[in-house]
Amino acid sequence: MLDAKPAAKPVKTLVEVRGLKMYFPIHTGLLRAHTGDVKAVDDVSFDILEGETLGLVGESGCGKSTCGRALIRLYDITSGSVKIDGTEIGHADQTRLRKMRPTMQMVFQDPQASLNPRMTVADIISEPLSEHTTLSKTDKLKRIYELMDAVGLNRRFANRYPHEFSGGQRQRIGIARALALNPKFIVCDEPIAALDVSIQAQVVNLLEQLQDEFGLTYLFISHDLSMVRHIADRIAVMYLGKMVELGPRDPVYDSPLHPYTEALLSAVPEPDPSLEKTRERIILKGDVPSPANPPKGCNFCTRCPKVMDICRQIEPEFREAEPGRFVACHLYDQNNKTTAGATGGTEADNEHFQQGETK
Amino acid sequence: MPDGAQPVLDVRDLKTVFRTRGGEVHAVNSVSFDLKPGELLGVVGESGSGKSVTMMSLIRLLPSPPADVRQGQVMFDGTDLLHCSEQVLRDIRGGKIGFIFQDPMTSLNPVFTVGFQIMEPLRRHLGMSKEKARVRAVELLDLVGIPDAKRRLKDYPHQFSGGMRQRVMIAIALACDPKVLIADEPTTALDVTIQAQILELVKDLRQKLGMAIVWITHDLGVVAGIADRVMVMYGGQVVEQAPVKELFRNPQHPYTRALLKTVPGVIGERPEKLNVIEGQPPILYAQPEDCSFRDRCPQAMARCATANPRRYDVGNGHDVACFWDPATGGERNA
């Protein structure tokens, strides 16, 4: 597995995201005037290294799916830069994007909705091949069979329709389709959320096995913290459109830096009754605020158990608190310097400028 | 919970069948269990294991056709719920037996205010006047932790967030002070932090109100946190039943054992590879004559193909429907 990866080998950055913003405009009134934005992803920067799995976690509505979709340009992003394998695609046009598509693929959450019910398995898997390659009919069929073998589907089922398969098998079809063009990078958007526990493990193991086999890089989006802990090498935590913490798996799970990560982890029920009895649980008050109208200062300040005055005034910067561990929280302001005295200023700056990230 | 207490709910040999175009599907096969006063019974199983259908059958909430509750006896408060009149049942549903469903958006009526929906059972079951019901509704919303309860009575479900809606559902279920509360995956649609809030609320309410709860879930973590006793279902049958600590410490059925291994936690050892239960859960087109877990079972024996194991008592209030004995590694005697 990835843990066994030789440390000496220099690791290449495959995906480089800087200041990614994805705003969805709100139009109101008779003239549909632009009155505000839902800031689904608000100034997010991170890297994904080649061959690793970055787990992206957060509650529903925190922007994790939007982030995943935006960075392979399923949306026209508001601003920011996304480099995949050295190519800038942040504001690339459709023709150039189309050329890039084979490198980046996606596995969707709901295998029922993401497979065309009128196409057979063979059709579904061969569609990307017909779009992007010039394989002959026989070569295509050979490739389809290869892919079906790779994801553990029986070749005999190539001419069946999606409804004839169970949820887990359908997800395998979706994975086979994503693999068809030998991608380097796959965004897995909640690929196991719609599946049963016993089937979840099958799909997760398959994804891991395929990663080893084909040297894939994953962005694994999920709200299931225990599964993410299993599959991911590094963890990114999002809250209300911002990334609040990013770091290697074990340190993040063992000693989370951000109070939100801490609360999120403590909320996960542990399948062990004696442990459950003794566990200190941090219960967050209230709900996530609306991303159209985030609170002033730190986005988490309305629910944070460790909130300080500064949190309601100044938005914390996303910076490296420990080697390889990034966090956006005032608790980790190194010298606790209260630099930006004028509080209004930082807010306004964020609106208009891209912050130079410390990363 | 004293052991000798009379159960509030006693289900015997319940069988439910769905008539479909592909033939009959045996969703619930001879399910028996009881619920003691004040107890929280966790029901775990994958989708299609029959856990929801069992609970819906016993209060006759399934539309017939296609569902057909073919046999069984459900004793509640001296009444057999399967054989009483619709009128009697209506008095019990929402009154002495409360329900919380998985998705709070679809189970609340979008065109009525939340206040109306909480007052409805109060007026229907307890015959309260409008004013009295309103006062009680405010109390209930307070009880489940909805701030500014009085004003929020006038709000519609869409004005509440998911967690708040589920609190409203709990308030409705609790309105008439039920003896039994059936909660069908009440936190599955919620985020973990909100789930933690709801679980905390339920623990708290149990102490205050002391009703018995059936909590259906597929999340073993949730069960570990709140249940007193756990019932594991597979293929429409109860395969194992035990007090919560006993079940987690000493799982007997290969399915339970596998299930416990497939769920990773967020603390402690991280396994290199996830354990997998190979294969798919069965669709039962016939009454099972053999063990329905047999195809996926690592311990399957010749005997498993010939008979459907009955539930063996293994002591400590623990029973299991399996021929394999983990203590000896061989066949179970007697």
Kind and range of the H or E element at B195?
A: helix B192-209
Q: Do A266 and B276 touch (CB under 8 A)?
A: no
> So what's the pLDDT on residue A247?
95
- Within 8 A of B280 by CB-CB distance, chain A residues are 166, 168, 199
In a domain, A261, yes or no: yes
CB atoms within 10 A of CB A60: 14
Q: Do A267 and B192 touch (CB under 8 A)?
A: yes
The phi, psi pair for A218, rounded to 5°, reads -115, 145
In a domain, A222, yes or no: yes
Q: How many residues does chain B have?
A: 334
Q: How many residues does chain A have?
A: 359
More confident residue, A49 or B104: A49
In a domain, A155, yes or no: no
Three-class secondary structure assignment of A288-327: CCCCCCCCCCCCCCCCCCCCCHHHHCCCCCCEEEECCEEE
DSSP string for residues in B161-174? -HHHHHHHHHHHHH
Q: Distance (Å, rounded) from C-alpha B228 to C-alpha B248? A: 12
Question: What is the three-class DSSP state of A18?
Answer: strand
Residues 6+ away with beta carbon under 8 Å from A135: A129, A143
Between A5-9, A288-292, B5-9, B183-187, the lowest mean confidence (pLDDT) is in A5-9
> So what's the pLDDT on residue A10?
65
Report pLDDT digits (tens) over B210-225: 889 999 998 888 999 8
Which member of B161, B248, B276 has the closest CB to residue A202?
Answer: B276
Q: Distance (Å, rounded) from C-alpha A45 to C-alpha A71? A: 11
Asked if B98 and B178 touch (Cβ cutoff 8 Å), the reply is: yes
Q: Distance (Å, rounded) from C-alpha A133 to C-alpha A128? A: 8
In a domain, A143, yes or no: no
Name which of A247, A267, A269 is nearest A258 in CA terms: A247
Q: What domain count does chain A have?
A: 1
Extended beta strands in chain B, E state = 9-20, 23-35, 40-44, 67-76, 79-80, 97-100, 180-184, 212-217, 229-234, 237-243, 312-315, 318-320, 324-325, 330-331
Please name the residue of chain B whose CA is at the shortest distance from the CA of residue A253.
Answer: B266
Name which of A37, A3, A6 is nearest A22 in CA terms: A37
Cβ of A267 under 8 Å from any chain B Cβ? Answer: yes
Name which of B244, B270, B245, B275 is nearest B257 in CA terms: B275
Report pLDDT digits (tens) over B279-302: 778 878 888 888 888 888 888 888
Cβ of A79 under 8 Å from any chain B Cβ? Answer: no
pLDDT in tens, chain A (359 residues): 444 444 455 688 999 999 999 999 988 888 888 888 888 999 999 999 999 999 999 988 888 999 999 999 999 999 999 999 889 998 889 999 999 999 999 999 888 888 999 999 999 999 999 999 999 999 999 999 999 999 988 888 999 999 888 888 899 999 999 999 999 999 999 898 888 877 888 889 999 999 999 999 999 999 889 889 999 999 999 999 999 999 999 999 999 999 999 999 998 888 888 887 788 888 888 778 888 888 989 999 999 999 999 999 999 999 999 999 999 999 988 655 444 443 433 433 333 333 333 33
Query: Average pLDDT of chain B?
Result: 87
Q: Distance (Å, rounded) from C-alpha A105 to C-alpha A181? A: 9
Please name the residue of chain A whose CA is at the shortest distance from the CA of residue B274.
Answer: A201
pLDDT band at B4 (very low <50, low <70, confident <90, very high): low
Between A177-191, B34-48, B93-107, B168-182, the lowest mean confidence (pLDDT) is in B93-107
Cβ of A305 under 8 Å from any chain B Cβ? Answer: no
Name which of A207, A239, A205, A211 is nearest A223 in CA terms: A239
Q: Do B264 and A229 touch (CB under 8 A)?
A: yes
Cβ of A163 under 8 Å from any chain B Cβ? Answer: no
Asked if A40 and A23 touch (Cβ cutoff 8 Å), the reply is: yes
Kindly state the tokens that stand for B51: 């856990």
Q: How close B47 comes to chain A (CA, Å)?
A: 7
> So what's the pLDDT on residue B146?
84
**Model ipTM value:** 0.78
Between A220-224, B170-174, B229-233, B284-288, the lowest mean confidence (pLDDT) is in B284-288
> So what's the pLDDT on residue A165?
87
CB atoms within 10 A of CB B5: 11
Q: Distance (Å, rounded) from C-alpha B143 to C-alpha B125? A: 20
Asked if A158 and A144 touch (Cβ cutoff 8 Å), the reply is: yes
Q: Do A284 and B193 touch (CB under 8 A)?
A: yes
In a domain, A122, yes or no: no
Which member of B221, B276, B280 has the closest CB to residue A269?
Answer: B221
> So what's the pLDDT on residue A346?
40
Q: How close A279 comes to chain B (CA, Å)?
A: 10
In a domain, A125, yes or no: no
Cβ of A215 under 8 Å from any chain B Cβ? Answer: no
Report pLDDT digits (tens) over B21-32: 888 888 898 899
Q: Distance (Å, rounded) from C-alpha B7 to C-alpha A22? A: 56
Q: Do B192 and A264 touch (CB under 8 A)?
A: yes
Asked if A52 and A234 touch (Cβ cutoff 8 Å), the reply is: yes
Q: Distance (Å, rounded) from C-alpha B52 to C-alpha B28? A: 10
Kindly state the tokens that stand for A174: 């979706």
Name which of A337, A260, A270 is nearest A302 in CA terms: A260
In a domain, A147, yes or no: no
Query: Is the confidence at residue B10, as pLDDT, over 70?
Result: yes
pLDDT band at B67 (very low <50, low <70, confident <90, very high): confident
Q: Distance (Å, rounded) from C-alpha A201 to C-alpha B259? A: 10
Q: Do A274 and B196 touch (CB under 8 A)?
A: no
Terminal alpha carbon distance of chain A = 27
Place of tokens 């509360």: B181
Place of tokens 């495959």: A14
Question: What is the three-class DSSP state of B144?
Answer: coil
Cα A335 to its chain centre, rounded Å, is 32
Residues 6+ away with beta carbon under 8 Å from A337: none
The answer to whether the peptide bond before residue B65 is cis (omega within 30 degrees of 0) is: yes
Q: How close A339 comes to chain B (CA, Å)?
A: 33
- Within 8 A of B163 by CB-CB distance, chain A residues are 287
The answer to whether the peptide bond before residue B66 is cis (omega within 30 degrees of 0) is: yes
Extended beta strands in chain A, E state = 13-28, 33-49, 53-57, 79-84, 87-88, 104-107, 185-189, 217-222, 234-239, 242-248, 319-322, 325-327
Asked if A80 and A42 touch (Cβ cutoff 8 Å), the reply is: no
> So what's the pLDDT on residue A273?
82
Asked if B15 and B70 touch (Cβ cutoff 8 Å), the reply is: yes
- Residues forming a β-bridge with B180: B97, B212
> So what's the pLDDT on residue A315?
92
- Within 8 A of B222 by CB-CB distance, chain A residues are 269
Distance set, CA B5 to CA A22, A247, B42, B97 (Å):
59, 52, 19, 19
| Sheet (strand B23-35) strand order | B23-35, B9-20, B67-76, B79-80
Which member of A198, A268, A284 has the closest CB to residue B262?
Answer: A198
Q: Distance (Å, rounded) from C-alpha A21 to C-alpha A92? A: 15
DSSP string for residues in A234-249? EEEEEETTEEEEEEEH
In a domain, A6, yes or no: no
Kind and range of the H or E element at B247?
A: helix B244-249
Among B148, B193, B280, pick the best mutation site for testing chain A contact (most A Cβ within 10 A): B193
Please name the residue of chain B whose CA is at the shortest distance from the CA of residue A263.
Answer: B193
Please name the residue of chain B whose CA is at the shortest distance from the CA of residue A288.
Answer: B161
Q: How close A154 comes to chain B (CA, Å)?
A: 13
> So what's the pLDDT on residue A334?
67
Q: Do A201 and B194 touch (CB under 8 A)?
A: no
CB atoms within 10 A of CB B30: 20
Q: DSSP class of residue A283?
A: P
Kindly state the tokens that stand for A85: 């394998």
Q: How close A205 comes to chain B (CA, Å)?
A: 7
Cβ of A355 under 8 Å from any chain B Cβ? Answer: no
Domain of A255, in residue numbers: 15-112+184-268+276-350
Query: Is the confidence at residue B155, as pLDDT, over 80?
Result: yes
Nearest-5° Cα angle at A218, A62 to A269: 50
Q: DSSP class of residue B93?
A: B
Q: Distance (Å, rounded) from C-alpha B264 to C-alpha B175? A: 37
Please report, for the domain that includes residue A66, its CATH number: 3.40.50.300
Distance set, CA A203 to CA A151, A172, A354, B93 (Å):
9, 7, 38, 40
> So what's the pLDDT on residue B334?
58
Cα-trace Rg, chain B: 21
Q: Do B196 and A283 touch (CB under 8 A)?
A: yes
CB atoms within 10 A of CB A140: 18
